[in-house]
C-alpha cells in the first residue's frame, strides 16, 4: 500500500487494483490518448493540455478509475473513507480530486508503461538496424 499526502493535507492510501482492472484503465487511457495529434507541429504544451482534457473528460477513463478507487482509502480530518461517489462531496476534499485521479492512475498503469516503453525502444532499434 502506498501513501501520498494530498494538497489539502489529507492522505491517500493506494492499493493497486487486480490485473484486469488496472489493464482496463491502461487500455482506456491509451484509447483516449490516440486522439491527440502529434503529427502536426503542435507544441508540447498544447499536446499536454489535450491529454489532460481528454483524460478528465473521458467517461470511459472515469469508469475505470472508479473501479480502481474502490481499493483506496482517503483519510482526512473526518476519518478514513473508501473512495466512492460521496468522497468528494466535501468542498475541501474536492481540492484533492485531480491529485487522487492522477496518483491512482499512475500506480495502476506504470507497470504496463515500463513494458510498453521497453518494447517500443527495441522495435525502434530493430527498424533502425534494418535501415542502415
Other beta carbons less than 10 A from residue 1's beta carbon: 9
- State the maximum Cα–Cα separation within the chain, in Å, rounded to a whole number: 63
pTM for this entry: 0.82
Tell me, what's the pLDDT at 119?
63
Q: Is 82 helix (H, G, I), strand (E, B) or coil?
A: strand
Tell me, what's the pLDDT at 124?
64
- pLDDT tens readout for residues 73-130: 999 988 999 999 899 999 999 999 999 999 999 999 998 887 766 666 666 666 767 7
Inform me whether the pLDDT recorded for 20 exceeds 70: yes
C-alpha cell at 31: 484509447
- Spatial strand order of the sheet with 2-5 comes to 2-5, 11-14, 72-76, 79-82
- pLDDT tens readout for residues 36-72: 876 666 677 887 888 889 899 999 999 999 999 999 9
Inform me whether the pLDDT recorded for 131 exceeds 80: no
| Residue ranges covered by each domain of the chain | 2-131
Tell me, what's the pLDDT at 42?
65
Amino acid at each position: 500500500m502506498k501513501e501520498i499526502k494530498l494538497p489539502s493535507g489529507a492522505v491517500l492510501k493506494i492499493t493497486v487494483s487486480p490485473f484486469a482492472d488496472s489493464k482496463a484503465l491502461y487500455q482506456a487511457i491509451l484509447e483516449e490518448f490516440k486522439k491527440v495529434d502529434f503529427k502536426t507541429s503542435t507544441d508540447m504544451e498544447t499536446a499536454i493540455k489535450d491529454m489532460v482534457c481528454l483524460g478528465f473528460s473521458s467517461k470511459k477513463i472515469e469508469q475505470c478509475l472508479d473501479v480502481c478507487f474502490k481499493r483506496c482509502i482517503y483519510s482526512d480530518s473526518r476519518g478514513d473513507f473508501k473512495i466512492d461517489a460521496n468522497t468528494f462531496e466535501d468542498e475541501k476534499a474536492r481540492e484533492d480530486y485531480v491529485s487522487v485521479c492522477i496518483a491512482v492512475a499512475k500506480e495502476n498503469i506504470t507497470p504496463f508503461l515500463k513494458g510498453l516503453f521497453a518494447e517500443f525502444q527495441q522495435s525502434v532499434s530493430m527498424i533502425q538496424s534494418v535501415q542502415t
